[in-house]
Amino acid sequence: MPKRSRTIDWQELQGRIIGLGEESLKKSHYPELQERLRELERFRALFDLSSDIVLILDIAAERIADWNRTAQDALGHAAPPPLSAIGAEEVLAFLREDHSGCAQRPEMCSRTIVTAFRRADGSRFPVEIAVSLRAGDAERLAIAVGRDITERMRTEQRLRQAAAVFDNAVEGIMVLDAARDIVAVSPAFVQVTGYAADEVVGRPVAVMRSLRHGDAFYAALWAAVEQTGQWQGEMWSLRKSGEALPMWMAIGTVRDDAGAPAQYVCVFSDISRLKESERRLEHLTHHDPLTQLPNRLMLGAALERALTRARRTGRALALLFIDIDRFKTINDTLGHQTGDLLLQALASRIANSVRAADLVAHMSGDEFAVLLEDVSSADDAARVARKVVQACTEPFDLDGFEAFVTLSIGITLFPEHGQSVTALLRNCDSAVHHAKSEGGNRFRIYTRELTKIAFKNLRIETSLRRAIDAGEIELFYQPQFRLADDALCGAEALARWRHPKRGIIPPDAFIPRAEKTGLIVPMGEHLLFDACRRVKTWLDAGLAAVPVAVNISGVQITSSPIVETVAAALADSGLPPELLKLEITESFAMRGTQGSIDRLHALRTLGVELAIDDFGTGYASLAYLRDLPVTIIKIDREFVHNVPDHRGDCAIIEAIVAMAHGLGLMVVAEGVETEAQKAFLARSGCDIMQGYLGGHPAPHREFERRLPRRTGPRG
Measured CA to CA, the distance from residue 424 to residue 410 in angstroms comes to 11
Query: What CATH class has 287-446?
Result: alpha beta
Measured CA to CA, the distance from residue 483 to residue 490 in angstroms comes to 12
C-alpha triplet 148, 150, 156: angle, nearest 5°: 125
Phi/psi at 109 (5° precision) = -90, -5
Distances (CA, A) of 475 to 506, 634, 693: 11, 20, 20
Torsion angle of the four alpha carbons 555, 558, 561, 565, in this order, in degrees rounded to the nearest 10: 40
Res 225: pLDDT? 92
Measured CA to CA, the distance from residue 448 to residue 434 in angstroms comes to 12
CATH of 163-275, one of 3.30.450.20, 3.40.630.30, 3.40.50.720, 3.60.10.10: 3.30.450.20
Res 468: pLDDT? 84
DSSP letters along 218-274, please? Answer: HHHHHHHHHHHSEEEEEEEEE-TTS-EEEEEEEEEEEE-TTS-EEEEEEEEEE-HHH
Length of the chain: 715
> What are the residue ranges spanned by the domains of the chain?
10-153, 163-275, 287-446, 471-704
Strands 666-669 and 688-690, by their bridges, are: parallel
Res 679: pLDDT? 94
- 134's enclosing H/E stretch is strand 124-135
Res 686: pLDDT? 95
C-alpha triplet 40, 45, 50: angle, nearest 5°: 125
- Interior/surface letters 69-100, b for 16+ CB within 10 angstroms, e for the rest: ebbbebbeeeebbebeebbbeebeebbeeebe
Phi/psi at 407 (5° precision) = -125, 145
Res 572: pLDDT? 94
Res 44: pLDDT? 66
Q: Which CATH superfamily is domain 471-704 in?
A: EAL domain (3.20.20.450)
Strands 261-270 and 244-255, by their bridges, are: antiparallel
Classify residue 586 by burial, with Cβ atoms within 10 Å: 0-12, 13-18, 19+. buried
Measured CA to CA, the distance from residue 499 to residue 77 in angstroms comes to 111
CA 180 to chain CA centroid, nearest Å: 43
Res 617: pLDDT? 59
Measured CA to CA, the distance from residue 82 to residue 57 in angstroms comes to 9
How many C-beta neighbours within 10 Å does residue 298 have? 17
Question: For helices 336-353 and 378-391, what crossing angle results, to 10°?
Answer: 140
Three-class DSSP category at 8: coil
What's the pTM?
Answer: 0.49
Res 16: pLDDT? 47
Q: Do domains 10-153 and 163-275 have the same CATH topology?
A: yes
Phi/psi at 628 (5° precision) = -85, 145
- Which overall architecture, per CATH, does domain 10-153 show? 2-Layer Sandwich (3.30)
Three-class DSSP category at 92: helix
- Contact yes or no for 195/207 (Cβ under 8 A): no
Peptide bond into 204 cis (omega under 30): no
**Per-block mean pLDDT, blocks of 10 residues, the chain (715 long):** 43 48 48 60 68 86 88 90 90 84 70 90 91 62 87 80 74 89 89 89 84 86 91 89 88 88 90 81 78 87 89 88 82 76 90 89 88 86 88 82 84 86 86 80 78 68 82 92 93 91 85 80 91 94 90 83 93 94 78 74 92 69 70 89 88 89 91 94 94 93 89 55
